Amino acid sequence: MSGIREDFAEILKLVRPGARVLDVGCGEGELLELLTREKAVDGQGLEISPEGVTACLGRGLAVVQGDGDRDLDHFPTRAFDYAILSKTLQQMREPRHVLSELLRIAEQAVVSVPNFGHWKVRWALVSRGRMPETGALPEPWWSTPNIHLCTLRDFVGLCDALELRIDACASLAEGRPARPIDPRQPLENWRAETALFLLSRKAEPQPVMLQGGLFGE
């Protein structure tokens, strides 16, 4: 598995062969292509950029040009086995709604988020009093797409509030293999640069269908 992004390698391990997968913010489709090739998944991508969409189509992937904030509502309940949201939750206008939707649409969600509680982030704030620019958060505050940053503890708190179960969690750092962690461990909120979660619902989701219902009122 050399040459594969460490988060992709980790996701590849989590996904069942032949599963139905929705990749929200699928970019140019690298992950979906990998999953299709290695795990024979039935994949569907959602991507906002025209370049990404064209690239996905060229790879033979099913991709819808759309916005994770707006377009998840139209997928029926449990249409997928997995919904993947890789490092984009913090860019959503309504992360809480998106997370909740992911777990309505899919049995399980694979979500990765940069940890704003990482020691480098805290150090940048404490020592320089400036917004941090780190490997996981490389852009200055005025151009970053990240509008809803959270710490590992914040994210776990949101999962609890939404009654989500954390089935697995791993800490990711560039160039290093993923490390399984307990996200509730206070130390991990300092150590993990990015965390990858496998989530499911504690209770069955309400079968919210399309407006008007699939087969009429």
Partner 1 sequence: MTAQAPITVGIETGGGTWRFPADRPLRLDSGASLAPLEVAYKTYGKLNAEKTNAVLVCHALTGDQHVASNHPMTGKPGWWSLFVGPGLPLDTDRYFVIGTNVIGGCMGSTGPASIDPATGEAYGLKFPVITIADMVRAQAMLIEALGIETLFAAVGGSMGGMQVLQWAADYPGKLFSAVCIAAAARHSAQNIAFDEVGRQAVMADPNWCGGAYLKAGVRPEKGLAVARMAAHVTYLSEAALQRKFGRELRHDGLSWGFDADFQVESYLRHQGTSFVDRFDANSYLYITRALDYFDLAAAHGGVLAAAFVPARKVKFCVLSFSSDWLYPTVESRDIVRALNGAGCRASFAEIQTDKGHDAFFLDEPVLDQTLRGFLAAQAQARGLA
**Which residues contribute to the site for partner 1 (CB under 8 A)?**
42, 44, 50, 53-54, 56-66, 71, 74-76, 79, 209-210, 212-216
Residue 22's nearest CA partner among 94, 97, 95, 74 is 74
- The smaller minimum CB distance to partner 1, of residues 75 and 155, is found at 75
CB of 148 to partner 1, least distance (A): 25
DSSP per-residue codes, 96-163: HHHHHHHHHHEEEEEEEEEBTTSHHHHHIIIII-S----SSS-S-TTT-S--S-B-HHHHHHHHHHTT
CA 210 from chain center: how many Å?
24
Smallest distance, partner 1 to C-beta of residue 35, A: 14
Query: Judged by CB, which is closer to partner 1: 105, or 113?
Result: 105
Residue type, 120: K
d(CA 198, CA 14): 8
Measured from the CB atom, the residue of 126 and 214 that comes closer to partner 1 is 214
- For residues 142 and 215, which CB has a smaller minimum distance to partner 1 in the complex? 215
Smallest gap from residue 213 Cβ to partner 1 (A)? 7
Kindly state the smallest distance separating residue 54's Cβ from partner 1, in Å.
Answer: 6
